[in-house]
Structure 1
Amino acid sequence: MKKTLLRLARPVFGPLLNRLPVRWRFAAYLRAIRCESQLPEKFVFKLAETREELEACFHLLHDAYVDAGFMKPDPSGLRATVYHALPTTSTLLCRAGDRVVATVSLVRESAMGFPMQRIFDIAAIREAGGNIAEVSALAIDRRFRSASGRILLPLLKFMYEYATRQFDTDHLVIAVNPRHIGFYEAILCFRRLKQRPVDHYDFVNGAPAVGAHLNLYTAPTAFRRRYGRLPPEKNLYDYFTGDSLPNTQWPTKRFYTTTDPVMTPALIDHFFNQRTQAFATLRLRELMLLHSIYDLPDYKSVLPPVPADAPRSEMRRRTHRRFSVRCPGEFSTRQLGIRRTFELTVFECSATGFRVHSDNRLPAGSTGTVILELGAADWSVMLVTVLRLGSQDRHIALVRIDQDDLAWRKFVGALGKAQTHDDLGEATRFV
């Protein structure tokens, strides 16, 4: 490629491209695209899981942000924010041999929210329903930026697949420098938020920012319209929606959970207390939310203590903790002597019940049997009652468990005690 995607996004080109009509801007970026489905074996795309991988990602991000003027150099040489500490954040990476050469993070909405909601109004996106995740912390090693076709596009494909297949995400949002927004609009089909650009975004050292949104439900249609008739090397529709690259390594899971927490108490202490001062700058509400999210004793010992005079309203704990999952199943009941069966997907659960989505509305008030696939080799059969349907979405239902089974008790017991996604592989150890 004579020009790479990243070179087009540099300050020299970005402002000029953003002033071009959309059609011309798209043509300029399209010339730089080359989809490669056969990559050298040395390139691997995966979740950052180990201390070494996370350290390499945070170091890469630090250097890229310092170069771009998005942060001042930190003595640690790392950029690790409180959002990286959350169990609802996944840091993805590209490795070339033993070297981490690119990274991007997905911050799914949680009690602490995500960075850009401080400055952008996303109420309309929330009203559409579904989980929202912010694309954040994208960085590529400067020595590999000329290989964007082998790193940037595959990394974005992995991010797209991870968000849609494993992270139970319906919407992606992003806050980017105005000189980069053209790439996300023209190539990835993001749409700008109606809110005007922000002149001063504290999260990136006061740089300006533009907000944008991609609806993952409608994204395939947008990709098909824009790329469906193009040759394979330019066809991002086939590239993003087709099979995973052989270079992709998916996290190993026993159960169908939709988050991949990797931060053990030791890793949290290392990155956010010892290597950086991320926890030292927490506001009181953030600190209290962090304690409510990490409510296991091992985590409490590495979190900054909550002041004795702080209000405790933010730290109230549910009687039954809720967990984010994506478990397919079916519900069977009898109505007027006729047996009816409904396919459904459990997306949130606790020890005593769960919320489901079903294409065919479940009959409120009905009692029956539910069969759930908890993982590739784990099944549960229980007696349940459909309590009520969602007030806004009638395809969502709240279900009460009337009689559980051993598989379900092991399932929720493991979710309640596990620290990371690896712990779930030894689920029976926790019950």
Structure 2
Amino acid sequence: MHNQKSAPALNGEAKLRAHSAYTSRFNLQSKAPEGITFKLVETVDELTQTCKILYDSYTEVGYMKVNETGYRFTPFYVLPSCYTLIAKAGDTVIATTTIIIKSQEELPVESIFSLTDHLKWDRRTAEASSFTVHPNYRSHPDNIKHAMLKYLFQIARDTLGIHDLVIACTPEHMGLYEDVLLFQRLSDEVIDAYDYVNGTSAVGARLDLASMQADYANVYAQAPEWRNMYKYHFESDFESFQIPRHAATVYSGNLWSPEQLEALLKGPIKGAAALSPDDLNLLRQHYASTEYDSVFSCYGVSNPAPVLDTNIQAVVRLKTNKSVPVVVQRLEGNQIILSAENPSALLDGKTLQITTGDHNTAQAQIRVTSLGNGVNATLQEYPSSMRFIDLLLKNKGAATQSPRLTEYHLTTDLDEEDKVHFGS
């Protein structure tokens, strides 16, 4: 059980002083750090280096205990619904963070803070985790840390369609996030012992990415350029940022081939040793195709229903012919898990329809609808959602957006690689 204690909130004048103190410490550049590339992790070597610098950073400050491998490995590094970002100087990884997209499982931060009041049916939430910069680059004149944060926000907002980005960090680091980056506390409580980082104290916060541009413009309108967060994040384009070729409607970030996954689980990192049986079962669901059988055969993992996490706007056509806007969040076997403003209305559902930019429609006949917790509902399609999934994954149009949903432009320009782990 986590011990909690209240932390007094800063008043307006105190926040202004704190903001001034933090912004005076950095010198933002309008161009990207020279010789540094920002990208998604793609190779076993890149992830191995990522695990190494995170291990070195975390053991140095006590966020984790020393282990025999010399690496910090988490299941999120091989979970396709997560995205690990890195900065590289040549072939060397010098900074990293991971975006963990909220799905049906809890985020790490939810073990200490409730997100119930922040989870909305038409807003996508993710956690930014495992942020670190190599010691040799922490005082880099081009400010690698802020460039990495800029890349993080851009990928989360523009590529992944994330509205709310949550974090957990130590109280001494919260000043940067709260007073400079305009995160808002999830709670006034300070957690004395956060198990995810070896019992370190933690506070939680949330950044509204949908209103980030307006919020930054308001706060930094008169700030000089060298500490103007609005200009830095919204008026400076960094050519060294590698941006995925399409916005994500099917989440397939940390998706590895069978050979890569086997190397990560059984190689020098010994990733499997850091995974619980539940972790392995969830991974098997995400890597359900037969080509991964040999990877999981030695772990005694069964062949569960395949899982695909998505972010797709759709409508449920009711038996009364009325339409209810929904967001398809997960495909699991023949079940389709979605969110809606009023899930109980879906009990009268007849079909689930997705209309694409080329005016084609993917449609699933609903057999059974059950309600979950909060804004979620589960549809069961007859005879199997695989027919619907095939239509969805082969579609090359652009998803039609409801004005009530996200303002971000998401596409359904999907390739075979997006469904390789779904057993098709």
Q: Distance in 2 between matches of 1:170 and 1:262?
A: 23
- The answer to whether the aligner puts 1:168 opposite 2:152 as a matched pair is no
Deviates more, 1:233-242 or 1:155-164: 233-242
Q: 1:104 to 1:277 in 2, by over 3 A?
A: same
Partner of 1:9: none
| CA distance in 2: counterparts of 1:108 and 1:425, whole angstroms | 16
Question: C-alpha separation between the residues in 1 aligned to 2:197 and 2:241?
Answer: 30
State the partner residue of 1:290. Answer: 283
* Separation of aligned partners in 1, 2:47 and 2:92: 12
State whether residues 66 and 72 of structure 1, in contact with CA within 8 Å, keep that contact through their aligned partners in structure 2.
yes
In the TM superposition, 1:29-428 aligns within 5 A as 29-127=22-120, 130-147=123-140, 149-194=142-187, 196-242=189-235, 244-253=237-246, 256-303=249-296, 317=305, 323-326=309-312, 371-373=355-357, 380=360, 409=390, 411-412=392-393, 423-424=416-417
Separation of aligned partners in 2, 1:276 and 1:254: 31
Deviations 1:379-431 (A, max 9, x none): 8456789999x99999x9x9x99xxxx9984652699xxxxx9853899xx98
- For the 8 Å contact 2:84–2:254, the answer to whether it is kept is no
- Seen in structure 2, the aligned counterparts of structure 1 residues 228 and 72 have a Cα distance that, compared at 3 Å, is same
Q: Distance in 1 between matches of 2:217 and 2:24?
A: 18
Letter of the structure 2 residue corresponding to residue 174 of structure 1: I
Question: Matched residues in 2 for 1:425 and 1:392: separation?
Answer: 28
Asked whether the 8 Å contact 2:121–2:327 carries over to 1, the reply is no
Does structure 1 conserve the Cα–Cα contact (< 8 Å) formed by 2:113 and 2:187?
Answer: no
Return the alpha-carbon distance in structure 1 between the equivalents of residues 392 and 36 of structure 2. Answer: 35
Aligned residues: 386
Given the two structures, how large is their TM-score scaled by the length of structure 1?
A: 0.72
**Conserved 8 A contact 1:253-1:424:** no
RMSD: 4.6
Change (3 A) 1:112 1:270: farther
Match of 2:7 in 1: none
Q: How far did residue 260 of structure 1 move?
A: 2.1
Structure 2 residue aligned with 1:21, among 11, 14, 35? 14
Unaligned runs of 5+ residues in structure 2 are 1-9, 317-323, 342-347, 397-413
C-alpha spacing 1:381/1:243, structure 2 compared with 1 (3 Å): farther
Cα deviation, 1:16-69, whole Å, max 9, x if unaligned, reads: xx9992221111111123221223541111111111211121111111112212
Assess if the C-alpha contact under 8 Å between 1:120 and 1:195 holds in 2: no
Q: How many Å apart are 1:289 and its aligned residue?
A: 2.8
Higher relative CO (Cα under 8 Å, sequence separation at least 6) belongs to 2
Would the aligned equivalents of 1:348 and 1:356 in 2 still touch at CA under 8 Å? no
Please report how far the alpha carbon of residue 225 of structure 1 lies from its aligned counterpart in structure 2 after TM superposition.
2.1
Q: Which residue in the other structure is 1:6 paired with?
A: none
Cα deviation, 1:55-99, whole Å, max 9, x if unaligned, reads: 121111111112212122333222111122211111111112232
- Tell me the equivalent position of 2:400: none
* TM-score scaled by length of structure 2: 0.73
SS at match of 1:303: helix
Q: Percent identity?
A: 25
Flag the 1:229–1:118 CA change in 2: closer, same or farther, 3 A: same
